[in-house]
A = this chain, B = another copy of it.
Amino acid sequence: MKFETVEKTVAVIGAGAVGLLYGSRLQKAGLKVQYQSRTMAGIRKLEVDSIWGKEDMEVEIFDSPTKMSPADIILITVKALPEIDYNSLIRPVWKASSVLVLLQNGIGNDEKIHSLFPSNPLIGGLAFVCVFRDQQAIHHLDYGRLVLAPYGKEKSIAKELADIFESVSVPVEVSENLRKARWQKLFWNIPFNPLSVILQASTEEMMNSKHAVQLCRDLMQETKQIANAEGHSISDDFIEDMLDKTRKMKPYKTSMLLDFENHRPMEVEAILGEPLRIANRQNIHAPKMETIYHQLSFLEERNSKMKG
């Protein structure tokens, strides 16, 4: 299979800030993109305020995928929440030849998507990006690197997709080990997302406190034990390197803290629940992760009652 960029169609499902940002890059690369978003539906002009350039883009955003055309590439950027019905979201834009790209946090959903659409090529994606949106615009403040990795043997497709993104300034790394890539992102998401909510703190505030740094390191150590029990051989150097990088980042609020503050659901299960279930299957004890899981679940329950 070889992409012919210009003719290809894309459906972005669950287009929040991440979906709109990367979808708009594909549009910029010449692909025909349609978006599904309940909250942005109907907007015809999207202001993209990105470190890769600022421009107004014509967009087609639908509230439901049933109003969209079947697509060659289905970019799934819906938040990783347990209640999401992937089948009813994806089926309307699905073709037998559709390439599925799952751009999400957490772990465990590649397997779910593959079991729903076992014959379609599936690429897992991870976005390392600082981006948020408001009603008319997306604001891309920093970073933006993608990691793309085939779920099965679709490495050539991942590379073609990487080429498209790179043609419009998006740094992309193609990885051969999707599961390991998911774990590597969790090393950051497991400590920093939940603790930012529990402590109401930016990354900078956390990195300036020896107590918070200790806690992050401890949580990464537990993550390492679980990941390595799955055979990924991640080292302590990786942990220290990630702490160093976070120390050097410009201070920001994690996406989970932004979700919490806006009374939107948080990815508690994708980021903590599923790793804990894997730990349990692997007979690994992760008590600190359990502690923040229960704390975050408490906050999520209370926060959901304050919604709208």
Partner of A302, one of B205, B215, B294, B297: B205
Q: Chain B interface: which of A229-237, A243-251, A283-291?
A: A283-291
Contact across chains for B299 and A199 when beta carbons are under 8 A apart: yes
A198 at the interface (CB under 8 A from B): yes
Chain B hits for A209, CB < 8 A: 298, 301-302
Q: How many angstroms from the CA of A215 to the CA of B293 in the assembled complex? A: 10
Q: How many angstroms from the CA of A195 to the CA of B205 in the assembled complex? A: 21
A201 at the interface (CB under 8 A from B): yes
A307 at the interface (CB under 8 A from B): no
A242 at the interface (CB under 8 A from B): no
Chain B hits for A201, CB < 8 A: 298, 302
Q: How many copies does the complex hold?
A: 2
Chain B hits for A291, CB < 8 A: 215, 218, 287-288, 291-292
A69 at the interface (CB under 8 A from B): no
In this complex, what residue of B is CB-closest to A297?
A: B211
A295 at the interface (CB under 8 A from B): yes
Contact across chains for B301 and A211 when beta carbons are under 8 A apart: yes
A156 at the interface (CB under 8 A from B): no
In this complex, what residue of B is CB-closest to A300?
A: B211
Chain A binding surface, main DSSP class: helix
Contact across chains for A214 and B294 when beta carbons are under 8 A apart: yes
Task: Write out, one digit per residue, whether chain A residues 207-224 have a CB within 8 A of any chain B CB (1) or not (0).
Answer: 001011011001000000
Contact across chains for B295 and A199 when beta carbons are under 8 A apart: yes
Contact across chains for B298 and A212 when beta carbons are under 8 A apart: yes
CB distance from A6 to the nearest CB of B (A): 51
Contact across chains for B211 and A294 when beta carbons are under 8 A apart: yes
CB distance from A150 to the nearest CB of B (A): 37
Q: How many angstroms from the CA of A298 to the CA of B287 in the assembled complex? A: 19
Which residues in window 191-205 of A have CB below 8 A to B?
195, 198-199, 201, 205
Q: How many angstroms from the CA of A300 to the CA of B296 in the assembled complex? A: 20
CB distance from A295 to the nearest CB of B (A): 6
Q: How many angstroms from the CA of A295 to the CA of B297 in the assembled complex? A: 16
Task: Write out, one digit per residue, whether chain A residues 269-294 have a CB within 8 A of any chain B CB (1) or not (0).
Answer: 00000000000000000011011101
In this complex, what residue of B is CB-closest to A216?
A: B294
Q: How many angstroms from the CA of A298 to the CA of B206 in the assembled complex? A: 8
3 closest A-B pairs by beta carbon, nearest first, are: A287-B287, A211-B294, A211-B297
A205-B302, A218-B290 known; 12 new pairs, CB 8 Å cut-off, are A199-B299, A209-B298, A209-B301, A211-B298, A211-B301, A215-B291, A218-B291, A287-B288, A287-B291, A288-B290, A288-B291, A291-B291
Can you report 23 residue pairs joining A to B where beta carbons are below 8 Å apart? A198-B295, A199-B295, A201-B302, A205-B302, A206-B298, A209-B301, A209-B302, A211-B294, A211-B295, A211-B297, A211-B301, A212-B298, A215-B291, A215-B295, A215-B298, A218-B287, A218-B290, A287-B291, A288-B288, A288-B290, A288-B291, A291-B291, A291-B292
